[in-house]
Amino acid sequence: MADGRRHHGRARDLKAVEAAALGFSTVWAAHLGRRYGILQRLALSRGPLEAAGIARACKLHPPAVAAWLEAAHALRLVERTGGRYRLTRTQRALLVDERDPRYLGGQFSYLALRSLDYGGFDGLFLHGAVPDPKTTHLAEAAHEATKWDHTLFMDVFLPRSPGVRSLLSRGARVLDLGCGTGGWDLRMAKAFRKSTFVGIDPNRSAVELARRRARELKVSARAEFAVGTGASVRRLGSFDIVFMGEVLYGLRAKVRVLRDCRAILRTPGYLVIAEGLIDRRSNPREPVNQILRAMDLDFALQGVRFLSKPELTFLLRKAGFRKPRFLQGGGGLWFAVAMK
């Protein structure tokens, strides 16, 4: 009986390792399909497409496209009928449609882009050195990953937060602290035309891209972007809402920045934090915990770590905020809402 259990355990572990190897390949296949427009081309088509036609439409090397399609089909990212390929509705939602709550395409790209920086683990393990974010793919990876957060904000958070939604509908002044390339602000500016948005980020290249995208979308009058950090928020005036999208975990002076955010909030005003939160007391092999703990290794390369709900509550109270309300977004992402 004991030998049978050991054999079953070894077989289970082998399957887990095989699944991990396939997962790595799936991450990169999904990212490459998005990066080179192949998945988008399939999503726009009304019928199945041949590899040669996709290569022409996307202006790509035909053998590379053919190899990608074969791999993507084997990995269940696309469907094949004869020599033609298509996306199912579910595949389109998961990989292409950034407004669908099921969308995971950005997560695949985040993981692929971050893996390009994993040579930095030599420095971390041997010397405790963390790579300079300016020399990594971190900004691009974060841009891809947070698109899903924006969908959850619109579709999960706002319907359950009438006070925030009402302010935005009436016309609020909103600060996005750590705006990156401005994706959240631009999406919100289109949805809430009476509100104005100010995004700040220390990455000058990201800010310049956000400004360019605002001009292209013709929302520059209501979505402004500037180079800045949490230490500069008091110079920006007062706000009805302060939003921090997966930013707090990376700040060194967390309480000071939170106090500054409280100081610039009008009454009534809301601080909204979107953050991956980890429960270190729960089973680490539950699916969500597996993801978060694996990402904690990636975070270690950034010199940061996930917070827990008690830790975030403590930080907010120390900064003078009332007890926060937590709303679960999914996939380990939580929204914390606090008032002065």
What is the pTM assigned to this prediction?
Answer: 0.86
- Pair type for strands 196-201 and 223-227: parallel
Closest CA to 174 of 272, 259, 257: 272
* Average pLDDT over every residue of 193-210: 96
Set out the domains of the chain in order of their start, with CATH numbers. Answer: 2-98 (1.10.10.10), 137-339 (3.40.50.150)
Which residue matches tokens 């937590």? 326
Per-residue model confidence (pLDDT) at position 3: 58
Output Rg (C-alpha) for the chain, integer angstroms.
Answer: 22
Residue 148 confidence (pLDDT):
86
- pLDDT at residue 274 is higher than 70: yes
C-beta of residue 175 within 8 angstroms of C-beta of residue 264: yes
* Mean per-residue pLDDT, 95-120: 92
Residue partners of 241: CB distance under 8 A and separation at least 6? 164, 167, 168, 172, 173, 174, 175, 269, 270, 271, 272
pLDDT interval class at 9 (50, 70, 90):
low
Give residue 200's pLDDT.
98
CA dist 287 → 17, 64, 98, 146, 147 (Å): 15, 34, 23, 20, 21
What percent of the chain has pLDDT above 90? 79
pLDDT of residue 322: 87
For residues 309 and 280, is the Cβ–Cβ distance under 8 A? no
Higher-pLDDT residue of 10 and 24 is: 24
The sheet with strand 84-86 has its strands ordered as 49-50, 84-86, 79-81
Q: Are strands 196-201 and 84-86 parallel, antiparallel or unpaired?
A: unpaired
- b/e map 200-216, b = 16+ CB within 10 Å: bbebeebbebbbebbee
Decide: 83 and 70 in contact? Cβ < 8 Å.
no
Mean pLDDT of 196-210: 95
Task: Reduce the DSSP state of residue 174 to 3 states and report it.
Answer: strand
Report residue 245's pLDDT band, with 50, 70 and 90 as the boundaries: very high
**Which candidate, 324, 167, 189, 197, places its Cα nearest to that of 248?**
324
Contact status, residue 41 vs residue 47, Cβ threshold 8 Å: no
Mean pLDDT of all residues in 194-223: 96
- 78-105: b (≥16 Cβ within 10 Å) or e: beeeeebbbbeeebbbbbbbeebeebeb
Residue 20 pLDDT exceeds 60: yes
CA distances to 63, 167, 172, 179, 252 from 270, rounded to whole Å, are 53, 10, 11, 17, 22
Q: What is the pLDDT of residues 277-303, one digit of tens each?
A: 999 889 988 888 888 898 999 999 999
Q: What is the pLDDT of residues 57-96, one digit of tens each?
A: 999 999 999 999 999 999 999 999 999 999 999 999 999 9
